[in-house]
Amino acid sequence: MTQFKNPHTKYPVPPFPKQEQEVPGTEAAMQPQADHGEESYVGSGKLTGAKAIITGGDSGIGRAVAIAYAREGADVVISYGYDVEDEDAAETARLVEKEGRKAILSKGDLREESYANQLIELGVRELGGIDILVNNAAYQMAHKTLEELTAEEWDRTFETNIRSMFYLCKAAVPHMQPGSSIINTASVNSYHPNAVLLDYAATKGAIQNFTANLAQMLLEQDKGIRVNAVAPGPVWTPLIPSTMPEPENFGKDSPIKRPAQPAEIAPAYVFLACEDSSYIAGATIAVTGGKVAM
């Protein structure tokens, strides 16, 4: 019999221990530890033989998606950006390989078109093609005033969150066959922008628009490639203690009164990648903990 759980108390509820990390943060230093589905996610062969590229795949949502894809039968390229993330990336690869699937690690700066092209080429070469592209890598930093936000940081946020997605989609589409999927990570900030995340929230709104537009473009060209997005609410990942004020209270104002764990977000990425969602394109699935997204 299925054991249903109260969503309010299924996972740790704030306040959490006081903590602070340097950007981009690591999984090991988080209190409490995040759940990526290591023990809970059960696959059912929905992606058997699929080939996926996941950016920002070392930790957080990206790690949870990599685990879920592997348990559904997919091989995965895991892209990440910083030396400090080496240990997290290696752990994600270990978890994928534990399921008997191939895990390829790639470290580089997605703001550079040359690296984005190399990443797609790596996937084609090592996996034999690309069936799923998950554009999940992102940069954010909280600022309370406009004066605090420099032009350099504004550019960095847009280059990381928007420009890289364009580069990757452009490079990947020629290698993707009908039935393939592109899944972009938007945010609850697409609907309810956080005042301290001006540049980040703007990029997430742009991602949602880009998703809907690219979906129409590819469908009108009869390519058979579906493009969709997932809009998570507050999620307990290393970005939170490394970029947000008062991480100990993060997610407290959610209707569920806690942040999501990455394991709660990953199933949406599985759904959008598999045949269950074959008639869904240009859509955004909101996984926001009850925050109305419209």
Domain locations in the chain?
Answer: 43-287
Of 107, 117, 114, nearest in space to 175 by CA: 117
Provide the CATH number for the domain formed by 43-287 in this structure.
3.40.50.720
Specify the pLDDT at position 293.
87
Query: Which parts of the chain have pLDDT scores under 70?
Result: none
Q: What is the pLDDT of residues 201-243, one digit of tens each?
A: 999 999 999 999 999 999 999 999 999 999 999 999 999 999 9
Specify the pLDDT at position 217.
98
Specify the pLDDT at position 3.
87
Catalytic site positions: 200
Cβ 76 vs Cβ 102: under 8 Å: yes
> What is the C-alpha separation between 52 and 256, in angstroms, rounded?
32
Sign for the pseudo-dihedral over CA of 229, 234, 240, 243: positive
